[in-house]
Amino acid sequence: MNLNEEQLEELSVMAGLFFEVEDIMINLDIPLHQVEDFEHVLKYEKEDPVYLAYHRGRLKTEVELRTAIKQASLNGSNPAQNTMLEFRNRTL
């Protein structure tokens, strides 16, 4: 799947805002009949620029969210502390 740099950036931004795959496709003018191919790239084609842009955007926001949760945890928020413990338990 070939997207230009502008489309890859938009893909990254939308992934970081957790948009649905079909909404991203509509915004990037990718025909919806290609949804299976697009989802395949997002799941399995780890060297593809589309895969990388999508996951970079998603992970960037995930880092920001976890950072905010960590700060709330350090400030004494019990729900945030529990969430941090859940994160810890899911890692190696």
Is residue 92 over pLDDT 90?
no
Residue 73: HSE in the Cβ half-sphere, 13 Å Cα cutoff: 15
> Residue 25 is part of which domain span?
5-90
Q: What is the pLDDT of residues 62-88, one digit of tens each?
A: 999 999 999 999 999 999 999 999 999
What pLDDT score was predicted for residue 1?
79
Q: How far apart are CA 80 and CA 70, in angstroms?
A: 7
Q: What is the number of structural domains in the chain?
A: 1
Q: What is the pLDDT of residues 1-46, one digit of tens each?
A: 799 999 999 999 999 999 999 999 999 999 999 999 999 999 999 9
52: pLDDT confidence band, cut at 50, 70 and 90?
very high
Quote the tokens at residue 68: 């905010």
pTM (two decimals): 0.89
Residue 11 near residue 53 (C-beta atoms within 8 A): yes
